[in-house]
Structure 1
Amino acid sequence: MAVAAERAYYRFVVLFFNCLLTFGSYFCFDIPSVLQEQFQGNLTCPNGTQHNDTGHNGTLDCVEGLGMTPAEYNLLYAIYAWTNALVVVVAGFLIDKLGNRFGVFVFSLLTVLGSSIFALGSHFKGTPYLLPMMLTGRLLFGSGNGSLTIVQNRITAFWFKGKELALAFGLTLSFSRLGSVLNFFFTQQFESHFGIQWTLWGGTLLCVLGFISAITVSMLDKVGMKQLGLDGVIQQESKKVRVQDVRRLPLRYWLLVLTIMFFYNGVFPFVADASKFIQDKYSGYSQQAAAYIAGAVYDSSLVLSAAVGILIDYVGLRGVFAVGCAVLTLPVFALLAFTFVPPLVSTIWLGITYSFAAASMWPSIPLVVPQATLGTAMGLATSVQMIGIGLSNLIVGHILGTKSSELKIPLWRWQQMMIFMLANTIACIVTSVSLNVVDRKQGGTLNRTTKRSPVEHEERQPADVAPLLSSEPGNDGSVN
């Protein structure tokens, strides 16, 4: 009789709590995007606070807020990205050495601490302590959230490798994006009733939900691995992981990492400033309406990710989808830069390409590296991604200006920002095409591997990644 951990329902229970790990943290991550005007608003208004709920472009009104400049605001995103870039490599290696349970506990706790300090910093507006405290909060939050995503992906890859891998990755993305979507829908309304401080504390409370989920998924993972008799095996494989193995990661992995970085360089910095951009360029949008439209990027991802994951599990073609996503993203930034086509068209369009990109790129990493070193590989991939995003946030902040943005930012500055997004997308096309060329020369694993051909994949994989575990080339440490 099969043990519970061998049944399909068990891995989907693990997946459910694994999905909840990042629900609250993704909600918190983009709160500044929704409340950009409050973050950059005046410390006081002559006639009291005036929120942008008139249905007109409200950037000309006085909005009471924290008094940040555009550069300081974008620094909140840049510090998050840089922290990820520095921490996730070490975090990924530690997860490989010490296990998933160590990772989910420590990193989910960091998201709670970081969001708490970020919320506390908002109480010091008008003082020199505001920016340092909020940056410290984002630093700790970034240390936890980026690393927590690595653990989440590692757990998903362990329980679903050779099964519904892209579907599982798609569902984790959907749950994460559900947090982002709810943020774009409700945060502005909540802030208008309760103020920015209580809004930020509400986000912290959702991070506590993630910490509770971390404890639950840790227990399920421990029980399941013991029932499968793999707990000791994984620990033995973890002992073989060395820092020097990074030098032996295959070329396909690095091309995949660069493809991910350039694609996300166009998505995340755009979403961070999208609400302000919509109000500045297009007439007739309130702050709340602009937030809804900016959030459509994540709405599309929320709706499509699971279905796209199922599709990719059955047809493969991950490399082809990566190229297609990059090519089809080019018109998005062109429309935003040079036309007045309704912005909702562009944000939905970007959300669709983002859904296919996330479901094809990230689940490709477990296909080219072994399970025992997956944390390190995911950490490196996240690090490179966040270095790119951090630099992009800085460049965008410089393009948009360093003075207070209570008045509209000139259209030519927004056009320069979109041209920068276009440049990143073109670079993504180049790296994704190169990825397909190399993959084809090395057996076509990314495009040929499907749910219906797990045996074929397992036969090819050891040769591809053997140098990473040179002491026992044939063992990838996976459950299959």
Structure 2
Amino acid sequence: MSEDEKKPLLGSTEEEELSGCGATLACNPRRSLHRYLILIIMCFLSFGSYFCYDNPAALQDTMMKDLNLNEGKFMQFYSWYSWPNVILCFFGGFLIDRVFGVRMGAIIFSCFVTVGQVLFSLGALFNLFWLMCAARFIFGIGGESLAVAQNTYAVKWFQGRELNMVFGLQLSFSRVGSTVNMNVMQPVYRFVSESYTGYTCLGVSLFVGAGTCVFSLLCALSLAFFDNRNDRILKRRVKTTDEVIRIGDVRYFPATMWLICIICVTYYVSVFPFVGLGLVFFENKWNLSPTVSNSVNSLVYIISAVASPLFGFLIDRSGKNLFWVMLGVIVTLGCHALLAFSFVTPFAAMSIMGLSYSVLASALWPMVSLVIPQHQLGTAYGIMQAIQNLGLAVVSLVAGMIVDNNGYLILEVFFMAWLSLALIASVILYLVDASKGGKLNLSARKRKLMMEKEIEKSEIVN
């Protein structure tokens, strides 16, 4: 961590005098307006990463045709992204907190994302499949860790103020990046095809994604400048945490934690790989154009961009997290059944799936903090993300092979089987939790009273 980030938070009582432009409401770090301007930059920090993550999904049909790929090879682009994060999820936060600092960490991981996308584009430009796979691996190294840096910035600038709103906005912007990608890349490809053809056209089109990564890198540099300036003016340092990833902590994790991990992986593997393969599915079954298919495919991201903060607020007020998780799983299972066994417009199923995904994500991840002590949360979330990425890496490969050998109907049955496992795990979690007092499914009011009693007991003991 840099020396600037280690300056005492309450060191000198003197405040740097601001004059000229620096004294305006927008440039003065003591003013709320300045923090909100920084929030805008913060939200765009991972825009390029999320835009480029689903570049293959947005160009699935053209990419498979231009590069002569089958579904199995195509899904390797998603699998190679996930493999490094099976390990790096443990260490991304540690590197930011203890080694690089949030400023340098954000810049370094933004560089990984940018370099990865540039190499991915070059691989397409020269029809080098191995280079494209290696590029997605490099891209994956930066992508998830950049999200950790973004969250670290959010906590540093907004802790004790509007932190929940900030996290909701960051999630929304990530979905906006995915949505823009789904609706922009096909028109870009058509425009480029007027001058280039084949894999050359594909490579040139993918460089648009590299441009968004450069933009996010500029946001990382800007954040580093303003964060350093903010620390200097306010005589502030970053509060380092004592949390270090400790693999040995897993032996103390309760059964409820592992059940939450099972729900996480079995649910998410039915959503993200499906979006990765959805374009051709919608074209073939409903005879939609590539542009319309991309619009349908992006509905999960569009809906969740708006709904996630709203459902998060609702669940904060109501509690009953396990009820919401079960509801999200059941509704998503129904959406896959609708897509598999009917010809009802896919707009309906994908819109509902976007809502159910938002419900589950808003209810599932906070449950970890209810079953794991605070000093082990970093380890718990690292393990949860690692298991999720391992599942995504394996299922992405298997899903591609299923489409090649058996078609999309069997693929949908495959996803429904995973969701059935998620539902079974949810029921088991409910029973296990109920035997221990039902903490995960308490109303918000009862949970608050229980936490207050626990605090009183700990104070008495101390």
TM-score grouping bracket, smaller chain normalisation: 0.7 to 0.9
Residue 29 of structure 1, CA deviation: 0.9
TM-score for the superposition, normalised by structure 1: 0.78
Task: Tell me how far apart the structure 1 counterparts of residues 379 and 31 of structure 2 sit (CA, whole Å).
Answer: 29
1:33 Cα deviation from its structure 2 partner: 0.8
- Structure 1 residue 455: deviation in Å? 9.2
Write the distance in 1 (CA, Å) between the matches of 2:226 and 2:431: 40
Would you say the 8 A contact 1:167–1:309 is kept in 2? no
Instruction: Confirm or deny: 8 A CA contact 1:20 1:175 kept in the other structure.
Output: yes
Deviations 1:57-114 (A, max 9, x none): xxxxxxxx12222211011111112222132223244345435345323222211111
**Structure 2 Cα separation of the partners of residues 12 and 425 of structure 1:** 39
Deviation at 1:272, TM superposition (A): 0.5
1:104-127 C-alpha deviation (Å, 9 max, x unpaired): 2322221111111101111112xx
Matched, 1:275 2:279: yes
Counterpart for residue 25 of structure 1? 49
Is the 8 Å Cα contact of residues 184 and 291 (structure 1) preserved in structure 2? yes
Q: Offset at 1:233?
A: 4.9
Q: Which moved more, 1:328-337 or 1:366-375?
A: 366-375
CA displacement, residues 168-198 of structure 1 (integer Å, 9 cap, x when unaligned): 4332221001011111111100111113222
**5 Å matches for 1:61-140?**
65-98=66-99, 99-125=101-127, 130-140=128-138
Superimposed CA distance per residue, residues 232-252 of structure 1 (whole angstroms, 9 cap, x where no aligned partner): 7525x24x6544334434443
Cα 1:460–1:138 change in 2 (3 A) is: farther
Q: In the alignment, is the contact (CA less than 8 A) between 1:164 and 1:310 conserved in 2?
A: no
CA distance in 2, matches of 1:462, 1:219: 43
Asked if the contact 2:249–2:379 (Cα under 8 Å) also holds between the matched residues in 1, the reply is no
Flag structure 2 segments of 5+ consecutive residues without an equivalent: 1-12, 16-27, 193-200
Q: How many residues align?
A: 426
Q: 1:440 to 1:97 in 2, by over 3 A?
A: farther
Partner residue, 1:187: 185
Deviating above 6 A after TM superposition, structure 1's stretches of 4 or more consecutive aligned residues are 3-11, 158-163, 222-230, 451-456, 461-464
Amino acid at match of 1:123: L
Question: What runs of 5+ residues in structure 1 fail to find an aligned partner?
Answer: 42-64, 403-411, 465-472, 475-480
Match of 1:196 in 2: 202
8 Å CA contact retained: 1:294, 1:347: yes
Using the alignment, how far apart are the partners of 1:434 and 1:226 within structure 2? 52
Identity of aligned residues (%): 32
Does the CA contact (< 8 Å) of 1:146 and 1:382 recur in 2?
no
Q: Counterpart of 2:178 in structure 1: which amino acid?
A: S
- Whether the 8 Å CA contact 1:323–1:432 is kept in 2: the answer is yes
Decide whether aligned partners of structure 1 residues 367 and 35 sit closer, same or farther in structure 2, where only a CA change above 3 A counts: same
**Paired letter, 2:44:** L
The 2-side partners of 1:158 and 1:250 are apart by 31
1:296 and 2:302 matched? no
Amino acid at match of 1:78: S
- Given the superposition, is the C-alpha separation of residues 214 and 14 from structure 1 closer, same or farther in structure 2, using an over 3 Å criterion? same
What residue number does 2:218 align with?
212
Q: Which amino acid aligns with 2:420?
A: I
In structure 2, the partner of 1:409 is none
Q: 2:224 & 2:451 partners in 1: Cα distance?
A: 29
TM-score (norm 2): 0.81
RMSD: 3.5
CA-CA distance at 1:384 after TM superposition: 0.8
Distance 1:232 1:182 in 2: 34
